[in-house]
Amino acid sequence: MTRKLLTGNGAAAWGARLAATDYIPAFPITPQTEIIETLSTWIDQDAMDARMVTMESEHSMITAAAAAAASGIRVFSATSSQGLLYGMEMLYTVSGWRAPFVLVNVSRGLASPITLEPDHNDIMAARDSGFLQIHCATCQEVLDSTLMAFRMAEHECIRLPVIVNMDGFYLSFTREAVEVPEPETAQQFVGDYDAENIRFRASAPVSQAVAVLGGAPYSYFRYETHMAAQNGLAIYDELSAEFTKCFGRAYPAIEAYCCDDADIVFVMLGSFATKAQAAVDRLREAGHPVGLLRPRLLRPFPAEGFRRLLAGKAGVAVIDQNLSMGMGGVLHAELAGALYGHAQAPAHLLSFIGGLGGRDISLEEFYEIAAVTRTAVAEQLTPPPRLLYTEQELREMRKLQAVASVERDELNNNTGGINHD
């Protein structure tokens, strides 16, 4: 095992290389382009035996990935944000093909307005597509999760594509020390891809399935895909235990930090959860028993794990880096559904929206989240969802709006106004 200083993007590329990926359909988009640039450099230098093809869009990229996987070869690709949405039609389609491959998504906020900074609205939009999802908080996790994702995708009881998700910029371009396994050890863990009954050949073209199905067979195949995704819960646990035995690093489906004696628990996805972990340390130093749960698996959703880990807790604060318009935080809603009706479920499940478009979440805001949650428990009253936003940020926003208003008026005066005739 070799220790290297890698970005999250570099770690994803190493994962694809160590898995002996055969084919990489690609299309560039910030902030994931470094992944395919790294892979193309290795291929050009004969350091990696694979074929890369630059497609004309993410839609065709995902189509090509699934078609290649169905022909019996191991496939990797990567995208981000608007690219993931551009290929959204095919996300649903190829999961129905039961074509296993790995797609790394480098999360970035969606337009409009436009941002290059991260949040989770892109990956949340894909949660019902049939792709399994693994969420990472460190560069080491990105590499290791990519290896595990190939095992999950290709498992005979799953046969579904898997997304490995990391936060753009905060993780994709952050350099951390990463333990890179020896190729032989990684190959032994990942194994060979056995395509079984989905192996197509260009030399012997065939047509399989039909274009339109009635409700009964359609329902059968859709629910069969759902059950295959559900199989991922037990299989992930098995693979995680095997990975720990091989490499010495443990990746439970839900990472629990200081939760055994906690009465208040934060729940958060991705690399921003490391900020929550630092806040937990400070709060505990001040005498407040606070803990943190960070799910790695979002699909399949580890509902039973959450019920077990949150049983008997006084209050839970879910910090979502996404916003479902007209509803609120997606993770909060899904956790509420998982806990509903269970006798030992926390009485108070609070929703906080933060980190949109890469906005920082400060330690002080985590302290405030803990205080608000503790107050809700004491007063037996759960407050409505809350956007993490400071008075100073609001004042600055009002200034920008005032400047824009003045400039618009000046533009109208200089042009004689707008003629509506």
Mean pLDDT per block of 10 residues along the chain (421 residues) reads 96 98 97 97 97 97 95 95 96 94 97 94 96 98 98 96 97 97 96 78 66 84 95 97 97 98 97 97 98 98 98 97 95 97 95 96 97 97 95 94 90 69 49
On the question of a common fold for 2-247 and 254-387, the answer reads yes
Nearby residues of 296 by Cβ (< 8 Å), 6 or more positions away? 134, 135, 136, 141, 145, 251, 252, 253, 254, 255
Tokens 């792709």 -> residue: 131
CA 401 to chain centre: 33
Q: Does the structural domain 254-387 have CATH classification 3.40.50.920?
A: yes
Return phi, psi of residue 165, to 5°: -110, 135
Specify the pLDDT at position 204: 73
Sign of CA dihedral 98, 99, 100, 102: negative
Query: So where are the chain's domains?
Result: 2-247, 254-387, 396-421
Amino acid making up residue 65: A
For 258, other C-beta atoms within 10 Å of its C-beta total 16
| Cβ-based neighbours of 391, under 8 Å, separated by 6 or more | none
> For the chain, what's the residue count?
421
d(CA 70, CA 199): 5
The whole-number pLDDT of residue 185 equals: 96
Distance between CA atoms of residues 269 and 277, nearest Å: 12
Give pLDDT, residue 420: 47
Which amino acid appears at position 37 of this protein?
E
Nearest to 84 by CA among 124, 53, 40, 130: 124
Name the class of domain 2-247. Answer: alpha beta
| Residue with token string 């395509």 | 195
